[in-house]
Structure formats: structure tokens, C-alpha cells
Amino acid sequence: MTKYRIAWMPGDGIGVDVMEAARIVLDALELDAEYVPADIGWEFWCREGNPLPQRTIDILQTCTCGLFGAITSKPKDEAALELAPELQGKGLTYSSPIVGLRQLFDLYTNLRPCKAYPGNPLNYRDDIDLVVFRENTEGLYSGVEFHPLPGELRTIMTKYNPRMTRFEDIPGDEISVSLRVITMRGARRIIKKAFEYARQYGYPTVTLVEKPNVLRETSGMMTRVARTVAKNFPQIELWETNIDAQMMWLLKNPDDYGVIVTSNMFGDIVSDLSAQLVGGLGFASSGNIGDDFAVFEPTHGSAPKYAGQYKANPTAMLLAVKLMLNWLGETEMAEALETAIAKVIAEGKVRTYDMGGDSSTLEVAHAIVEKL
């Protein structure tokens, strides 16, 4: 028996390429793990009408954690057109399997570190060290959406909120509603994780990024909860900013910020911007973490046009492996891996196309292995 069972989910597109790089590094590290292949991604949507088959969920339930590459996701109408002919017209709706996994396994923390490694020619500035805590299960990505708007729902909404009468004349099939659901529990646990992380790694501030002046109820709740949680961490200062202004300040003074905590969609946005500050999505890793299960992935998508070409920068994937090792408690291995990654970046000899080089995905993995 191995110490760990890791669900192995390459997904599709460059997910497959970067997961191969991950395996090279994990084998070199001699992690005592079994890697259990699990189906997820676009081809299972097209073939079976489900990008996250039940058998994958069953496998995940037997695993310590999961490692995930990338998947193609498309808006619902485009996705429906790509279904196998026998599945067409059955009312199947595509929804992102990674968002599904996050909700199904209650992986409420989306941990997204963005660090400028010295010598990376793509760094916007060299002193950036940001960690985004994105709430991962609720907010605007809760999946509670309506179209057409059912009449009963409209009646109730109008009864409880007179602002709804503004839309009285619009027929139900001309209104779409996506609910931004924030719960006190959801807010509390993600904000607490952000503060605990700041304390553990010595960050002096936690920045709550919301928009309570407009989203009075949902961002308002995040703000109230943050102020309460902050009281338990007197050594850490709580900064409160609005999402729009924060985007500007992140470009202007990125080194002012350390730990950022925010709701699901804002976190999706802030984390892409932060990734770009440290070289782009090729350097951004992501941990979807719950109380006793987690799935690690690069923040980037599947880039289908590069699939199978081994061009993609595997650094994001390998940093996700590093997050996984940390989560497993294999901190020495995690540090060794990060140091090796940093050395290869600093040396600048082996670089993928995004960094101006012509090395392949796997050449980068082998170069990192040599530094281990």
C-alpha cells in the first residue's frame, strides 16, 4: 500500500501535456503515491453528455486528493452543439466540471499564490508576492440561475423587493437571473483561512476585496464577517477595498498587497490579474481545498490550439504539485520542488515559448528534476 492515493485527472487540451510534466517531477521526488486515472473533461461531455462522470466521483471518494490538468469549457449553446448525435435534444446542459467538483466536495478555499520568481523576464515587478483566497463554492458561481424567470419567482421577488417592479413589463423569457449567494458560514470560513495563512507566513495585512457600497447585502455580509474574524488576529491589519479600485491599485502598487480574500467571481478576476503580474497563467497555481479533501490544478485553461504540442509552460502545474505536497504535509519535498523551479527560472536556459525560449513542456520538467 502506498501512503497516498492521488486521483489523476489530466482533462483535455494542454492539461494532458502539463500533467505528464507533473508525473516526471513526482516520480523524481519519489512521492509514496499511487496515481489513479480518472475521466474528466470535454470528450466525456461530447461522448457521454457528462464531463464529470459518476465513476470519477467514486474514484475521488477513495483518494487522498486529486491532481487536475485543464478542461475546455464553453457556454451552454455552443457546448450543446458538440454533443454526440444520439445525445442531442435531450435537454443536457453543460456546466464546468471543475466548478462542479469544487461544490460537490465542498472545496471552499481556492488558494492562488502569485509570486514573482527572480529572473523571470515576464515579471511585471520583481517584488510581488500575492496570495489570493477565492471563495470557491458560492457567490455568483453558485449555479443558482434562472431563464426564463418563472412567474412565481418573479411574484415573490417583487413582493419582497419593490425594485423588481422596474422589470414588470419584461417577459420571463427575456430576463436571466444569476443569484449571488453568500452565506455567513461561507464568508467566515474563507476569511478565517486567509487570516490563518497570513499569520502562518508572516503577512502583515489581509485585504478584503468586495463592493459593499453597491452589493449591499452580499459584499456587506463579507465585510461584516471580515471585521469580526479580524478581531481574533490582532497582529494582522484588515484592509477593505472595492474590486474596481483594487484592480487599479494592483497594477499601480502590487507590492503593497499580500493576502487577498474575496468572493468567487471577484477571486476569479483578481487571480488572473495577479497571475499576469508574475508572468501570466504559466506561473499561477491553484489549490481547491476543503476540510479533508483537495484538488490541485494550474489556474490556466486547456488552450486547445496547443494541445499535444508540448509547448505549454508546466511551471503553473508544477507549482500546483508543490501546493499539493504542502497540503499532504510533505513540506520538505514541497520546498525542494519550489527551489528547483526557482533555480531553473533564474538560470534562464530552459524556457518555454511564453518566456521567449523554445524548450518543450517536458524539457522544463527534466531541467527541474536535475536541480532537485
**Binding partner of residue 96 among ligand IPM, Mg ion, none, CB cut-off 5 to 8 Å per kind:** ligand IPM
Residue of 300, 322, 324, 295 lying closest to 312 (CA atoms): 300
Q: By the 8 A CB rule, do 98 and 326 touch?
A: no
Pattern 264-283, binding to Mg ion, x per CB under 5 A? ----x---------------
The residue written with cell numbers 418563472 in the block is 150
The verdict on 297 binding Mg ion (CB under 5 A) reads no
Q: Which residues contact residue 161 at a Cβ distance below 8 angstroms, ignoring those fewer than 6 apart?
A: none
Q: How many residues bind ligand IPM (CB under 6 A)?
A: 7
Smallest distance, Å, CB 52 to Mg ion?
Answer: 18
Region from 51-59, 92-100, 194-202, 317-325 binding ligand IPM, contact rule CB under 6 A: 92-100
**Closest to ligand IPM by CB, 70 or 128:** 70
**Closest to ligand IPM by CB, 140 or 344:** 140
Q: Where are the beta strands (DSSP E) in the chain?
A: 4-11, 33-37, 65-70, 109-115, 129-135, 145-146, 177-178, 205-210, 237-242, 259-262, 285-289, 294-298
- Greatest C-alpha distance within the chain: 67
Q: Which of 26, 98, 259, 337 binds ligand IPM (CB under 6 A)?
A: 98
Residue of 321, 345, 335, 347 lying closest to 372 (CA atoms): 335
Smallest distance, Å, CB 28 to ligand IPM?
Answer: 27
The residue written with cell numbers 481545498 in the block is 289
The verdict on 17 binding Mg ion (CB under 5 A) reads no
Residue of 310, 321, 303, 255 lying closest to 6 (CA atoms): 321
Smallest distance, Å, CB 363 to ligand IPM?
Answer: 26
Region from 94-102, 120-128, 242-250, 327-335 binding ligand IPM, contact rule CB under 6 A: 94-102
| Rg of the chain (C-alpha set) | 21
The verdict on 299 binding ligand IPM (CB under 6 A) reads yes
* Interacting residues with ligand IPM between 250 and 269 (CB under 6 A): 268
Smallest distance, Å, CB 352 to Mg ion?
Answer: 21
Q: By the 8 A CB rule, do 349 and 355 touch?
A: no
**Binding partner of residue 130 among ligand IPM, Mg ion, none, CB cut-off 5 to 8 Å per kind:** none
Note the residues at the interface with ligand IPM (CB under 6 A): 73, 96, 98-99, 268, 299, 301
Note the residues at the interface with Mg ion (CB under 5 A): 268
